[in-house]
C-alpha cells in the first residue's frame, strides 16, 4: 500500500490503462526512480516457460486446485508453463504472502536463466508471448534486459533484496502490506554502500 493513482491499493495499479502506473506508484512510495515496468500475465509467464523448455524448481508444498494436486512437492522438478504458473502464484491456507513471493521469485529466476541466450530467438519468444503488451519498453530493450539479467543470474552474481514490509490488518481475504520506513532506510543505506 502506498501513494497510488486514485488511491488504489498498489496491486490494483496493474488494472489502470497506463502501463507505467505501477512503476510511477512504486517510485512515489519508495522515493526511487523506476525506469521501466514489465507486467507479466499468467498466460505470458506460461508461454515464456514453455519457450524456455520448462523451469527447474524446488516445489516446497503440494500445489492444490480444488481437490486436485496439480504440482506435487519435491525438489528439482522440471515444470512446464501451466505448472510453473500454478506454483508461482500458489498461496496455501494460512501461508504468509512471502511464501508466494518466494515461489514466484524462484520461477522467474529460473526462467531468466533458461530463456534463449540467442538474441533473435529471445526476441521471437517474447513477441510470441505478447511480452510487451503491458510494458513501457519495446521488445528489443526487454530482450537486452533479460539477456543481461540471465547472464548475472547464471553466474551467481544476481542479488535479491526483499522490500521490508509490515502487514496491515484489514480483515479482508488478501493480506495488505505497507512499506516499513525504517527497514526501507536500512535497505537504501546497504544499496548505496555497494
**What are the pLDDT digits (tens) for 114-168?**
999 999 999 999 999 999 998 999 999 999 999 999 998 888 887 777 778 887 7
Q: What is the pLDDT of residue 44?
A: 95
Q: What is the pLDDT of residue 29?
A: 74
Q: What is the pLDDT of residue 71?
A: 97
- The predicted model gives 32-50 an average pLDDT of 92
Residue 75 phi, psi (nearest 5):
-85, 155
Q: What is the pLDDT of residue 186?
A: 86
**Number of Cβ within a 10 Å radius of residue 183:** 14
pLDDT band at 170 (very low <50, low <70, confident <90, very high): low
117 within 8 A of 147, measured Cβ to Cβ:
yes
Q: Which helix (H) or strand (E) holds 100?
A: helix 97-114
Maximal CA-CA distance, the chain: 49
Q: Which helix (H) or strand (E) holds 22?
A: helix 21-30
Query: What is residue 70's three-state secondary structure?
Result: strand
Q: Which has the higher per-residue pLDDT, 22 or 59?
A: 59
115 within 8 A of 145, measured Cβ to Cβ:
no
Per-residue pLDDT tens digits for 20-36: 888 888 777 777 788 89
pLDDT band at 18 (very low <50, low <70, confident <90, very high): confident
- The predicted model gives 46-61 an average pLDDT of 97
- E strand spans, the chain: 55-59, 63-65, 68-71, 74-79, 165-168, 176-179
Amino acid at each position: 500500500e502506498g501513494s497510488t493513482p486514485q488511491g488504489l491499493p498498489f496491486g490494483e495499479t496493474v488494472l489502470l490503462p497506463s502501463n507505467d502506473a505501477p512503476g510511477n506508484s512504486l517510485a512515489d512510495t519508495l522515493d526511487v526512480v523506476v525506469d521501466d515496468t514489465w507486467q507479466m500475465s499468467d498466460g505470458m509467464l506460461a508461454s515464456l516457460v514453455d519457450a524456455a523448455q520448462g523451469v527447474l524448481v524446488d516445489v516446497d508444498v503440494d500445489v492444490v486446485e480444488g481437490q486436485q494436486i496439480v504440482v506435487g512437492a519435491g525438489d528439482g522438478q522440471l515444470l512446464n508453463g501451466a505448472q510453473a504458473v500454478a506454483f508461482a502464484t500458489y498461496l496455501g491456507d494460512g501461508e504468509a504472502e512471502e511464501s508466494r513471493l518466494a515461489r514466484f521469485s524462484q520461477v522467474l529466476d529460473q526462467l531468466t536463466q533458461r530463456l534463449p541466450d540467442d538474441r533473435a530467438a529471445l526476441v521471437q519468444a517474447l513477441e510470441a508471448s505478447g511480452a510487451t503488451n503491458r510494458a513501457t519498453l519495446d521488445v528489443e530493450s526487454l530482450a537486452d534486459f533479460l539477456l543481461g539479467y540471465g547472464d548475472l543470474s547464471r553466474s551467481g552474481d544476481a542479488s535479491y533484496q526483499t522490500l521490508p514490509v509490515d502487514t496491515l490488518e484489514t480483515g479482508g481475504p488478501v493480506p495488505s502490506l505497507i512499506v516499513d520506513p525504517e527497514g526501507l532506510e536500512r535497505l537504501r543505506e546497504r544499496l548505496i554502500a555497494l
